[in-house]
Amino acid sequence: MGMTMTEKILARAAGKDSVAPGDLIMAQLDLCLGNDVTTGVAIDEFEKAGFTEVFDPKKIALIPDHFTPNKDIKSAGLVKQMRQFVRDHGIVHYYDVGRVGVEHAFLPEQGLVGPGDVVLGADSHTCTYGALGAFSTGVGSTDLAGAMATGVAWFRVPETHLFSFEGALNPYVTGKDLVLFTIGQIGVDGALYKAMEFAGSAIRDLSMDARMTICNMAIEAGGKSGIIAPDEVTKKYIEGRYKGTPRYYTSDPDCWYEKEYHWNAADVPLMVAKPHLPSNTQAAAELNGIGIDQVVIGSCTNGRIEDLRQAAEVLKGRKVHKDVRCIVIPATQAIWQQANDEGLFDIFIAAEAAVSAPTCGPCLGGHMGVLAAGERAVATTNRNFVGRMGDTSSEVYLAGPYVAAASAVAGHIATPEQIGHGAAPSPLPEGREP
């Protein structure tokens, strides 16, 4: 029997000819990742364990992005601790304010992750890099401490679930809608500790930005990882960018999937996840009229250039509703620059939206958009748990950029068609990808 691409990647990293679901392996890591929230504990554990050296200063990336620019004294102290650790150990990949971005957009952009890699990060949305054909997964800070010291980590080889979408997408439907639809179908524990492999013609037609959105949210279904087979889209994205040597893996025709799901892409509408679970999904058109106080367009899920273009398309020539705060957060400095160069900021500012420096801030209720008691937000982020963006009585509705922008204009949840935007989106502007 053949192997899935996830099994092939893990077999290579473990120095084995083959592995099977349930096998326990020690895998060599291609990159370890920490951020300003998780790295402090990892450093404490690293030093408590008596480690004095990191395994490879070129294979560790420490990215302050959650509470940066520093929101308070405590967050400033966490980043200061990171800086000192970086200096002490000569860590190459550390990027501070003015050079940094939201980690899961920033690392692929910088070419630090690529096809066939094994990536371990102390952040649950590390699964984003599966969009490039990597095995990437989130762990706790203690695991990161051990990984930074040894360069290896143990894994139980996960079973793989196949999620196939065939056919053409409806107007305005994006990767965010596909992944919300998937989570709504299987639940927040429907792929618990599974490798979620996304395939089909609809997936192959997606941009790399959209693929990253899908894999980013694999964890919201309980997935150990998300992954998409590398193809010409992947190769074009990493060309001249990826600093490693790509290893292209695909699943064998006779591989074993524990479960398979097959859907017609045309059956997926614009989706919204209602409070307080990403699986509590419903068609956006059916929620028209639910009033909102804030819209956030950004995050590691939907802060890339394609997302900003989609939001700008809807906001162009319109105003954000007078009772709504609309916050737009490009995920990296390069995306910020490109959006500015393309005139997207002119559109956002004319619409009376606020544009921020790259940060995770509002996604986790950190800063740059915290919700007060009873407030309701539409966000292009990835989680809508109780109190996720602020007060425990606030509510978060998850959506893609098209629905978020339309809702900002309407003052309530709405689709582009419901605000009279037209039957189909206009072409996105041409431009280099950041």
Angle, CA of 339, 344 and 346, to the nearest 5°: 125
29-44 pLDDT, tens digit each: 999 999 999 999 999 9
Could you tell me the pLDDT band of residue 423, with boundaries at 50, 70 and 90?
Answer: very low
Angle, CA of 61, 62 and 65, to the nearest 5°: 125
Asked whether the predicted pLDDT for residue 235 surpasses 70, the reply is yes
In 41-65, which positions are buried (b, 16+ CB within 10 angstroms) versus exposed (e)? bbbebbeeeebeebbeeebbbbbbb
CB 61 within 8 A of CB 32: yes
What is the mean predicted confidence (pLDDT) over 194-201?
Answer: 98
pLDDT at 208: 97
- Give the alpha-carbon dihedral of 148, 151, 155, 159, to 10 degrees: 110
Angle, CA of 248, 251 and 253, to the nearest 5°: 135
- Amino acid, res. 126: T
- Amino acid, res. 64: P
Work out the percent of the chain whose per-residue pLDDT is above 90: 94
CB 228 within 8 A of CB 214: yes
CB 83 within 8 A of CB 40: no
**Residue 370 has what DSSP assignment?**
P
Asked whether the predicted pLDDT for residue 405 surpasses 90, the reply is yes
Cα distances from 399 to residues 77, 281, 296, in angstroms, run: 34, 10, 10
**What does the alpha-carbon distance between residue 177 and residue 182 come to, in Å, rounded to a whole number?**
8
Asked whether the predicted pLDDT for residue 434 surpasses 80, the reply is no
pLDDT at 84: 97
pLDDT at 252: 97
pLDDT at 314: 97
Closest-CA residue to 327 (of 277, 370, 273): 370
- Give the alpha-carbon dihedral of 353, 270, 305, 314, to 10 degrees: -40
Cα distances from 380 to residues 24, 177, 277, 311, in angstroms, run: 36, 11, 14, 10
Asked whether the predicted pLDDT for residue 307 surpasses 60, the reply is yes
**Residue 193 has what DSSP assignment?**
T
Q: Report residue 64 as tokens.
A: 């302050």
320-342 pLDDT, tens digit each: 999 999 999 999 999 999 999 99
- Give the alpha-carbon dihedral of 268, 171, 404, 230, to 10 degrees: 70
What is the mean predicted confidence (pLDDT) over 299-318?
Answer: 97
Could you tell me the pLDDT band of residue 428, with boundaries at 50, 70 and 90?
Answer: very low
Q: Please give the mean pLDDT across all residues of the chain.
A: 95
**What does the alpha-carbon distance between residue 52 and residue 74 come to, in Å, rounded to a whole number?**
26
Left (φ > 0), alpha (ψ -120 to 50) or beta: where does 368 sit? left
The Cβ-side half-sphere exposure at 214, using a 13 Å CA radius, reads: 31
Closest-CA residue to 114 (of 210, 249, 251): 249
- 305-315 and 208-216 helices, crossing angle to 10°: 100
Burial, 352: exposed, middle or buried (Cβ in 10 Å; 0-12, 13-18, 19+)? middle
- Between residues 426 and 376, the one the model is more confident about: 376
Could you tell me the pLDDT band of residue 421, with boundaries at 50, 70 and 90?
Answer: confident
Question: In 49-127, which ranges are continuous DSSP H helix?
Answer: 73-89, 103-110
Could you tell me the pLDDT band of residue 1, with boundaries at 50, 70 and 90?
Answer: confident
pLDDT at 425: 46
52-94 pLDDT, tens digit each: 999 999 999 999 999 989 999 999 999 999 999 999 999 999 9
Could you tell me the pLDDT band of residue 432, with boundaries at 50, 70 and 90?
Answer: very low
147-167 pLDDT, tens digit each: 999 999 999 999 999 999 999
Place of tokens 């939907």: 302
Domains and CATH numbers, the chain: 5-264 (3.30.499.10), 272-417 (3.30.499.10)
Work out the percent of the chain whose per-residue pLDDT is above 70: 97
382-392 pLDDT, tens digit each: 999 999 999 99
